[in-house]
Structure 1
């Protein structure tokens, strides 16, 4: 008999009742070091006082009005995002998937208003993950996401990751209007797009007039040590999807764009009942205030180097379990020799939480507020998990 909760997840039996910073507390009282942060959502950890304060203060005043009215909290968060990014304008929604939907609509409407409605094709890349709506899985194109959900939406063309010749050839297609890419793939296995390639994408888009759409749903909001990952390459997109970390645990997404890219999105072309509600925007503004305060991102970069050093030592100590470290900032991956799901399970026993990804990679996504002592403790627990997996391998 089916469970009351749709069984679309293969869930562990762990059941957490409380979070404190980088720790999660199970119903039985065990304390787990959280190296997954809700899949890169809990950017400031669990129970951050600034977020708790912002949420409770706003909850005592006003929760929801809809977008029929001006929402001061929405305008405040949008102003912060515009101040600190390339964007001229922001649309708020409830998730990264919804931000992807608007990115696709915005790109198509841009070309319609520009007198080239045939430029509907968006180039994407193998291994991508842009959400789980029909449009988002059509954009990614992988069998894992799309099997059984056809017919898929037309208008997307997937290219091999890192195949520059294929990209240059596809970019010449007159039906192409945009290129959409994650600067650092998460679900795809923590695959980093080198700065030179991101610069090349910007140049290619400029050469052919394409819009550059960046998906920073997982890699943005300070996760790589800059506010957004593309900043390392010194370029700017035309459109960008944001979610996860921007709400620090509150479900909010955003679509950021230049005035030019957004020129077709006039009144009535898009909407969201809940998007940009006062609660979510109050929390998002608090997140932005914390991440953009003096010294915060410098601290993230320092902790990133410490974590990477610790993980490199872990790989060296367990060559039968791990192959190497990949990624950037506090969005790192352990390329595994043993099945990554075995290491996740062994981590549960060692009371450390990680997240599996494609290419047999184990994602390490701690809160940006994690301390060096907590990093050392988390890696020590991963070492315990690796020992258990090594013994399993030896006994097989």
Structure 2
């Protein structure tokens, strides 16, 4: 809806946009703003790029985690548009409202007369890299590589700190080539370039049609030399503003922040779900209850690290067992390090869910919408037990991981990976599970 407002001081009519902006509308707006970059033509490839938008407590939109593009020109164009995005002005009711996965197909933005000169790339898995002691995940290859470079740089005994500009290609064979380094003194630039050219082999980028492709990236590396001669350099992540949550704090100290700058940290020996679900399942075994059930709910983590406003959306109703009281008591006894926003502790909402199944019986289960949102409905099944059907709320039946047309659902798989990466491995999915899916259907 648009409202025409008359300016009496100038006599000029102004148009003011009073519509509600949420991440769905902002992602659509972004697609109207994207332009094909002139400096992208030299790479001769264009295709689908993925990212996950997030919204801070004050409505500012940012990219929740570093994304990968076919070349630096596409990355810069996405960053340009995100920086210009309108602020969200709709209330955030759940964590689902604070995150939005989207695709941008740059090939669609090519002028018709240029399309014959550019190869179209389908959805692809970015190159992956992990050295000894690092975790290999789909979207952390760039960070692992920068950390690996720093681990091989030694301090000179002279206090220096430079931000180096690095561009490199991971080719179809997983080799690092076409390295360009700038921004520091000649000795440091030469050393970094030498280290990069000696890089271990990566797992190359792979498209959904099983083709290995080359990807070019531009990164910044903070090279610090402050220790005694021979000491190893310390890795300092370089974070652009477009990837950072807002650093301001709310004036309302009682406000519940759904997407805080620093999330809360559970203080138990195991994971939160492990400490909540395992004793409950053990109790059911003691009482010889062997039925399907689901538990879903949320609570507020207060500034003192305790839970309040505990609410359950789904609970089992077993005779002789008060699930509400048992789980509510367990949650109330748990300790957290409070979330922080702008340097101060804040209240935040935490959603959770877990399920239990009758032993030796394969069932159709309703997917869980409460942990990661509806974007995870295609990643609930166990890939070791195919086929696995489940029913959506609207009654549609799916057999994961295939679409109703019998094709592997790459969009849901990649969307799930993005949200899993965003949640930093917390929740009811495991890295082992996603690796199983990757080995069986993607690789």
Give the alignment's TM-score, normalised by structure 1.
0.24
Instruction: Answer 1 or 2: higher relative contact order, Cα 8 Å, separation at least 6.
Output: 1
Larger Rg over CA atoms? 2
TM-score by length of 2: 0.22
Higher helix proportion (structure 1 or 2): 1
Which protein has the bigger strand share?
2
